[in-house]
Structure 1
Amino acid sequence: MKDVTIVPFNGKTPQIHETAFVAPGCRIIGDVTIGAGSSIWYNCVLRGDVNRIVIGERSNIQDGTVVHCDGDHGPEFPGSPMIIGDDVLVGHMAMLHGAVLHDKSFVGLGAIVMDGCAIESGGMIAAGGMLTPGKTILAGEMWGGRPARKMRDLTPQQQAINGFGTAHYVENAKAHALAVSES
């Protein structure tokens, strides 16, 4: 991976599937796992120093996104890993911290998802939204605002369109990987 910083930390080395695309300028630190066909776009930071970060298959983390986790604060406050399922879309400049993004969920441009949150399959946080600690977006819901609140339910067609976006990013990542290798 050209111009990518991979840093082992506390005995944990990032595990990146051979078919994943990690763009130049990314920083991947510590206990991070990236699944098959996933893409981490230009200038993202994934810092698994105090807990783990897991990214499933065919998910994309778009340019400038910061992904971190919540560390262990003792028996009553065990911390939260950052778990991202399969076929998840994460828009540019998002901030994800100690949450769970279930398969086929969507995080809009510049959105913030905080500790202990979950976005269920087909759920969406709109661009610029801030999901405050412990909130859950149910399957098929769209939330937005700061702090985020439910705006409406997504139609099955709108949820399917998000799935097309995932497929697009898998193919686009292959083209970028080729361009990076030839530069």
Structure 2
Amino acid sequence: MATILPYRGILPKIDDSTFVAATAVITGDVEIGPDSGIWYGCVVRGDVNGIRIGAGVNIQDGTIVHVSRPFGTIIGDRVTIGHMALIHACTLHADSFIGMKACVMDGAVVEQGALVAAGALVTPGKHIPAGQMWAGSPARYVRDVNAQDREMMAYIQPNYVQLAKEYKKTESEL
């Protein structure tokens, strides 16, 4: 069973349809929308500010989502966050994609349909426009998201929603 804890009297609000893996930890001022998945080894810690996670989001294994005093974290609908990413006090708009081991820092904004490549470091306050791909450390504009990228993004997100539903069903049968 996942560890879901209050912080300063605030208990996370998690939609009943969301899958939260047994080894995930969610604490404090966190709200998670329907049909999302918080996978194994994730930490979602809303202590000094709030975290809002939309519908159909998948936060893959080993990812950390945190906040800072000036900035909460907002993750829009249908966002994919790859394994072992660090999402810290930033905004990820709907349909954006964050690659494995990417780091998105305080005050950064990733607009709708943008893609942050695996291993990228999005520095504080950086603004990634809609439909662009950024990569590197520090992250920089590489090119516009192309048809192949959009196809990959459109494939992964709904598949993770389905996978989360299967895991949730299996868990309820135990």
**Residues 140, 159 of structure 1: 8 Å contact kept:** no
Alignment of 1:61-72 (within 5 A): 61-71=59-69
Residue of structure 2 in register with 1:139 after alignment: 130
Residue of structure 2 in register with 1:116 after alignment: 107
Query: C-alpha separation between the residues in 2 aligned to 1:55 and 1:32?
Result: 8
Residue of structure 1 in register with 2:21 after alignment: 23
- The secondary structure found in structure 2 opposite 1:28 is strand
Query: C-alpha separation between the residues in 2 aligned to 1:20 and 1:165?
Result: 17
- The secondary structure found in structure 2 opposite 1:49 is strand
**Residues 70, 115 of structure 1: 8 Å contact kept:** yes
Q: Which contiguous aligned blocks of 4+ residues in structure 1 show a shift greater than 6 angstroms?
A: none
Q: Which runs of 5 or more residues in structure 2 are unaligned?
A: none
Query: C-alpha separation between the residues in 1 aligned to 2:14 and 2:105?
Result: 24
Query: C-alpha separation between the residues in 2 aligned to 1:47 and 1:91?
Result: 18
**Deviation of 1:156 (Å):** 4.0
Residue of structure 2 in register with 1:76 after alignment: none
1:87 counterpart letter in structure 2 = R
**Deviation of 1:65 (Å):** 0.2
Residue of structure 2 in register with 1:59 after alignment: 57
**Deviation of 1:177 (Å):** 1.5
Instruction: Tell me the alpha carbon deviations over residues 111-154 of structure 1, each in whole angstroms, 9 at most, x when there is no partner.
Output: 00000001101101100000000001111111111111111111
Deviates more, 1:169-178 or 1:23-32: 169-178
**Deviation of 1:157 (Å):** 4.6
Residue of structure 1 in register with 2:155 after alignment: 164
- The secondary structure found in structure 1 opposite 2:162 is helix
**Deviation of 1:43 (Å):** 1.0
Identity of aligned residues (%): 48
Q: Which runs of 5 or more residues in structure 1 are unaligned?
A: 72-78
